[in-house]
Every structure is written in C-alpha cells, then in structure tokens.
Amino acid sequence: MKAIYNTLFKRTSTYAVGIMASVFFFERAFEVGSTTLFESVNKGKLWKDIKGKYE
C-alpha cells in the first residue's frame, strides 16, 4: 500500500499515466466479461446456437 502510494499516487503525472494505462485493461476485461455474461444468460437463443438448424 505504502509502496503503491509512493510510486504511483504521489505525483499527478504518474497517477494520470496509471489511470490511462489501466483504462485499456479495464475496457478489455469489462467488455469480455459483459459479453460472456450476456451469452451465458441468453444461451440457446443466440444465432450461433441455432445456426445448425438452418444450414
């Protein structure tokens, strides 16, 4: 905790860069996670699930 504060949060420059860098990972994780959740809730109703019936 102390080390994180001293290296990252103490200066505004490192704090801002840290936020910008973590947005990339957050975005990827959030989008993959929400897509997985959506597909697991709607399992069996999606086109990729019923595609086999029409081909």
Partner 1 sequence: MMNAVTRAYLRAGSQTVSNVLKPATVASAQVQRNAHTDLQVPDFSPYRRESVNTPNRKDDSAESRKAFSYMLIGAGAVGSAYAAKGLVTAFVSSMSATADVLAMAKIEIKLSDIPEGKSVTFKWRGKPLFIRHRTADEISTERSVAVSTLRDPQGDDQRVIKPEWLVVIGVCTHLGCVPIANAGDFGGYYCPCHGSHYDASGRIRKGPAPLNLEVPAHEFPDDGTLVVG
Q: Return residues touching partner 1 (CB under 8 A).
A: 1-2, 4-6, 9, 15, 18-20, 22-23, 26-27, 30
Q: Which is nearer to partner 1, 20 or 41 (CB)?
A: 20
Distance CA 26, CA 41 (A): 22
Neighbours of 39 (CB within 10 A): 13
Alpha carbons 36 and 50: distance in angstroms, whole number:
18
| Distance of closest approach, residue 36 Cβ to partner 1, in angstroms | 18
Smallest gap from Cβ 15 to partner 1, in A, equals 7
